[in-house]
Amino acid sequence: MKEAVVLYPSPHVGHLVSMVELGKLLLTHRPALSIHILIAAAPYIAGRTDKYISTVSASVPSIKFHHLPIVTPVSTTATHLEVLTLEVLHFSKPRVHEELINISKTCKIHGLIMDFFCTSGLSVANELHIPSYFFITSGACFLALYLHLPTLHQNTTKNFKDMKEHFLNVPGLLPVLATDMPKPFLERDNKAYQYFLDFATQVPQAAGIMINTFEFLESKVVRAISDGLCVPDNPTPPIYCIGPLILADDKRGGSSKTSPEDAHKCITWLDSQPNQSVVFLCFGSLGLFTKEQLREIAIGLEKSGQRFLWVVRDPPSHQAKWDDISMM
């Protein structure tokens, strides 16, 4: 029976790309593995993935994609896009169960590796006695904050957005201004907050946590997590720093060999800079900022005097995100 690992990413294109790169990494260590990737349909337009998936399928035959049936979110008036994604993933649980059963008919599944958005799949893995792992596409700093969320929740009854000039203490991190918490964490009564709070309490049940970082970059916070400081009331699973997992070139899903004439001018410029001299800014497929926010970032970069490479997306028009949702 063929040996397999199943990957379950969030439908956001940035999370999918990182998960595919994880699959490629696993294949470099175990070429005989079969990698199966479960694809949930995104509840809104967050970057087209069809072409990327087709390219990967053609170039890496050991990676197979399984498209889950479309699920309609319940929250049509959600104030956070994350709620729509989390509801789709939650209601996809029966389909995940079905796909794992089907894959297990021809393969021995050694593990289910989930994006933290896909924590609802943990109970499915447990039910089928499949070892479960989490893959954090962000860095260790976010993981520390995420794991410590239940503790922060217990220490106050206020919304973080209302705790003006109050700093939160998270092991391994500098004090975090409460109002600077990720947007889904700011309001306790919001459905996104409740989802993530529940998920954060479940993460310690996993067999391990993989992070898209390397230890030298975030050694202090990685130590704090590994020592169990972020989850004081439960054991912390083993931590594996396996990053940075990035595309090998500037073509999604393409060859790792890019000729100089095909390289983007930004890469050519970057190669000409001194080592460790450039600040890189990239906020993901959903990282949209207003014109005012972009201006503030630009002013900060200019005042820093540092070389920088900044991936900038056009500012959203009023209600642009929700217009995308209505098109689905």
The residues annotated as belonging to the active site are: 15, 115
Cα separation values, 192 from 3, 72, 109, 184, 199, Å: 36, 17, 31, 5, 11
Which tokens belong to 293? 């926010």
Partners of 217 in the beta sheet? none
- Count H helices and E strands in the chain, helices first: 12, 11
Which tokens belong to 58? 């053609």
Q: Note whether 63 and 55 are within 8 A (CB).
A: no
DSSP per-residue codes, 190-245: SHHHHHHHHHHHHGGGSSEEEESS-TTTTHHHHHHHHTT-S-TTSPPPPEEE----
